[in-house]
Homo-oligomer: A and B are copies of this chain.
Amino acid sequence: MATQPTRADARGNRARILEVAEEVFGRGGSAASTEEVARLAGVGIATVFRHFPTKQILLEAVVVRHFDRLCRRAQSLAESDDPGPAFFDFFGQIVADAAGKLAIIEAFTDAGGDVNGKAGQGPRDLREAVGVLLRRAQDAGAVRTDIGLDEVHALLVGVSRAVAHIRLDERARARALEIIFDGLAPGDSWRQPRS
């Protein structure tokens, strides 16, 4: 893995490239070209390849960054006093900004990347953090106890992908989420209002 460069301009460029890459690949998927990233970042192509020797590696870096952020968000929510809302909040937030973000992960896997492999600790950490969120929500009686992380994961990814794919207006998205939340709620106490 490329170490942090020592010169200030190099560090700045590296950061800017990562930033732009997230946007560009989020929009165009893996079909977007490295050259466009370079142009929008205001650097030459060579600079991009100096920092990230391969398009694949660049994508990986973007994905890692993304997982990091998600994970931190989940961890901070896990410290909430209100585990039920925290869980559903996280779910809703992920879905809300899924549109561009998912395209990045797709781009990464399209390019032959394995999210559970080299992409580092990210996905595992995120999974763990969501697991904590889930367990606490279940302990608090806000989520049915007969489901596990796998199912939640499936739903999370699924709804995100749906939202990213079809043009759902605000209302329809909220509705779809509501259906899933109702399905996640425990049988009898599912009438409790959620944030």
| Chain A residues packing against B (C-beta within 8 Å) | 29-31, 110, 147-148, 150-151, 153-155, 157-163, 165-166, 168-169, 172-173, 175-176, 178-184, 187, 189-195
Contacts and interface: CB of A to CB of B under 8 A. Distances in A.
B163 A162 contact: no
Contact of A151 (B31, B154, B175): B175
B192 A195 contact: no
A155 B176 contact: yes
Given A182-B187, A194-B193, A194-B194, A158 B151 contact: no
A154 to B, nearest CB: 4
Contacts of A29: 110
A75 B171 CA distance: 28
Q: Mostly helix, strand, loop or mixed at chain A's interface?
A: helix
A166 B157 contact: yes
Contacts of A190: 187
B155 A162 contact: yes
A69 B92 CA distance: 34
Given A31-B110, A158-B161, A159-B158, A153 B166 contact: yes
Contacts of A191: 187, 189, 192
17 contacts: A147-B179, A148-B175, A150-B172, A151-B175, A154-B173, A155-B176, A158-B163, A159-B162, A161-B161, A161-B162, A178-B194, A179-B183, A182-B183, A183-B184, A187-B190, A192-B193, A195-B195
